[in-house]
């Protein structure tokens, strides 16, 4: 039914558009959320650069090692926040306006996810651009164009996945207080155990196991491969995991969203 599909795409676009208008309007938040990762990158990157280097013969300095981790962090935080903004819609009543409209629940979830991912990608690209000025260079074995494509593709799938996770959690939370708890008890560990800061190959087994089940670890690994050429997992494994994560979270998010009130 092509008409139905047209409507489905239209609904996704409508939901996406609202997310983007809100994003553009929240300029101060956008700027703040750029400053934090850049500060991490400057302070940690510079602080450790002289004492740490990676890769064969220590060719990759720490700031280049850290940059893809910071990209991953930006995508993680932006997309989780965006997914969990469903909570604010619930709190402020706007969710009812969407739920009572003649649109499919799946198009709402996909539209939200695309909105959050677009924001995450914009943030990521801005950070990547700005990090050039503090010495970060794309210097992997891939050519520049291929590296950029890989970065965008990876950001897209982990972005979609984490918005989906955020939406799923938001549908289960009763009130806005849960938001902080989730941020501290789930999002921070996901970030710290993603290999964003340190190589995960020499970790103790229990910690390595946690990293291995963390979808962000594979995203960071793919980003790091694009930026520096270093990697822990095979690129195909990275892509398979982030795509699998995206599909899983979109399905779970859509199912949970069906019962939201």
Partner 1 sequence: MKAIVTKDLVKKFEDVEAVKGINLEIEEGELFGLLGPNGAGKTTTISMLCTILKPTSGLASVFGHDVKKEPSTVRGMIGIVFQEPSLDDNLTGKENLDFHGRLYKVPRNEIAERISDVLELVELADKADVIVKKYSGGMKRRLEIARGLLHHPKVLFLDEPTLGLDPQTRLHIWEYIEKLNREKKITMILTTHYMDEADQLCDRIAIVDHGKIVAMDTPDNLKRDVGGDVVIMTVPNGSEQLKTTLEQLEFVKSTQLVDGTLRLSVDKSETAIPVFLDVARQEGIAVPSISLHEPTLEDIFIKYTGREIRAQEAAGGFAGHGPGRR
Nearest to 231 by CA among 77, 60, 52: 60
Instruction: Pick from 1, 35, 56, 100 the residue near partner 1 by CB under 8 A.
Output: 100
Tokens of 168: 């799923």
Residue in the structure block whose two tokens are 């089940």: 213
**Residue 99 engages partner 1 in binding (rule: CB under 8 A):** yes
Q: How far, in Å, CA of 30 to CA of 78, rounded?
A: 10
Instruction: Pick from 2, 27, 57, 97 the residue near partner 1 by CB under 8 A.
Output: 97
**Residue 94 engages partner 1 in binding (rule: CB under 8 A):** yes
Instruction: Pick from 28, 102, 185, 201 the residue near partner 1 by CB under 8 A.
Output: 102
Binding window for partner 1 (CB under 8 A); candidates: 20-28, 43-51, 56-64, 177-185: 20-28
Count of residues of this chain found to bind partner 1 when the rule CB under 8 A is applied: 24
**Residue 18 engages partner 1 in binding (rule: CB under 8 A):** yes
85 Cβ contact partners less than 8 Å away, ≥ 6 residues apart: 166, 170
CB 201 within 8 A of CB 224: no
Where are any strands of DSSP class E within 70-161?
none
Q: How far, in Å, CA of 105 to CA of 202, rounded?
A: 44
Binding window for partner 1 (CB under 8 A); candidates: 8-16, 33-41, 68-76, 135-143: 8-16
Binding window for partner 1 (CB under 8 A); candidates: 14-22, 64-72, 155-163, 195-203: 14-22
């Amino acid at each position: 039914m092509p008409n139905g599909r047209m409507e489905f795409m239209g609904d996704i676009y409508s939901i996406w558009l609202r997310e983007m208008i809100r994003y553009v309007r929240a300029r101060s938040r956008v700027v703040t959320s750029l400053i934090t990762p850049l500060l991490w990158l400057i302070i940690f990157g510079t602080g450790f650069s002289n004492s740490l280097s990676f890769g064969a013969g220590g060719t990759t300095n720490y700031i280049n090692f850290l940059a893809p981790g910071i990209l991953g962090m930006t995508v993680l935080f932006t997309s989780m926040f965006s997914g969990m903004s469903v909570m604010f819609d619930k709190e402020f009543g706007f969710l009812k306006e969407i739920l009572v409209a003649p649109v499919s629940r799946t198009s709402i979830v996909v539209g939200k996810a695309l909105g959050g991912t677009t924001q995450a990608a914009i943030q990521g690209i801005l950070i990547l651009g700005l990090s050039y000025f503090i010495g970060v260079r794309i210097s992997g074995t891939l050519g520049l164009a291929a590296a950029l494509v890989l970065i965008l593709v990876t950001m897209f799938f982990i972005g979609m996945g984490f918005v989906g996770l955020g939406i799923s959690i938001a549908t289960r939370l009763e009130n806005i207080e849960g938001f902080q708890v989730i941020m501290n008890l789930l999002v921070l560990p996901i970030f710290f155990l993603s290999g964003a800061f340190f190589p995960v190959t020499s970790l103790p087994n229990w910690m390595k196991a946690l990293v291995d089940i963390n979808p962000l670890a594979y995203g960071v690994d793919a980003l790091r491969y694009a930026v520096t050429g270093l990697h822990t997992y095979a690129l195909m494994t990275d892509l398979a995991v982030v795509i699998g994560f995206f599909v899983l979270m979109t399905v779970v998010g859509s199912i949970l969203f069906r019962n939201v009130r």
